[in-house]
């Protein structure tokens, strides 16, 4: 999974929510809106609710705030066939109970099909590695638009 392959519609330059569970809800809603547009289908509300429940249950066990202003909420689903990803940014910051107790500014939420369970570890590692670089976090903080954020991901894309 490479964030450089996201479509602009999968990037939220300024999240409206300020609470971590509200942020997850906001991102899930926007992600499913995007999936419905791309697939030209209407997904049942139950799938969205189950996805949100899976994400919040995961978050209640242990925060996905990995530090340095980054959170990676993720869950598994039997209702999707391909990994689904959305990136959100909060300039103000969101209290995410991160390991370093600092607010989170960058959230990469992804849902992995249950059949591809193994894929989540590779995805987590790739995202964490990208965001360990302070120069990338600074560029993302300064980016103004979806396209600017996407340009940062493309600039720092890892081939392979």
Please check the confidence at residue 30 and state whether its pLDDT lies above 70.
yes
Active site residues: 74
* Start-end of H helices in the chain: 20-39, 45-61, 119-131, 134-142, 146-155
pLDDT of amino acid 114: 87
Lowest-pLDDT range of 59-68, 100-109, 125-134, 150-159: 150-159
Angstrom distances, CA of residue 13 to CA of 29, 115, 128, 145: 15, 31, 19, 6
Q: Count the residues in the chain.
A: 160
Looking at domain 3-155, its CATH superfamily turns out to be: Mannitol-specific EII; Chain A (3.40.930.10)
Q: What is the percent of the chain with per-residue pLDDT over 90, rounded to a whole number? A: 76
By CB atoms closer than 10 A (0-12, 13-18, 19+), residue 32 is buried
The residues spanned by each domain of the chain are: 3-155
Q: Say which DSSP state 64 is in.
A: -
Q: Which of 5, 13, 21 has its CA nearest to residue 56? A: 21
What is the pTM for the complete model shown? 0.93
For residue 1, give every residue at least 6 positions away whose Cβ sits within 8 Å of its Cβ, in sequence order, or none: 83, 85, 110, 119, 122, 123, 126, 127
């Amino acid at each position: 999974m490479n964030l450089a392959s996201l479509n602009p519609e999968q990037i939220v330059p300024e999240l409206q929510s300020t609470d971590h569970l509200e942020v997850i809800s906001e991102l899930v809603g926007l992600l499913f809106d995007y999936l419905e547009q791309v697939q030209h289908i209407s997904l049942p509300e139950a799938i969205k609710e189950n996805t949100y429940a899976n994400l919040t249950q995961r978050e209640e066990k242990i925060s996905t705030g990995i530090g340095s202003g980054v959170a990676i909420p993720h869950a598994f689903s039997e209702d999707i066939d391909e990994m689904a990803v959305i990136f959100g940014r909060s300039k103000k910051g969101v209290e995410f109970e991160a390991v370093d107790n600092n607010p989170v500014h960058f959230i990469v939420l992804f849902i992995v099909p249950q059949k591809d369970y193994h894929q989540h570890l590779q995805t987590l590692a790739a995202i964490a590695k990208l965001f360990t670089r302070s120069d990338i976090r600074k560029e993302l903080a300064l980016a103004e638009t979806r396209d600017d954020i996407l340009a940062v991901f493309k600039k720092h894309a890892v081939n392979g």
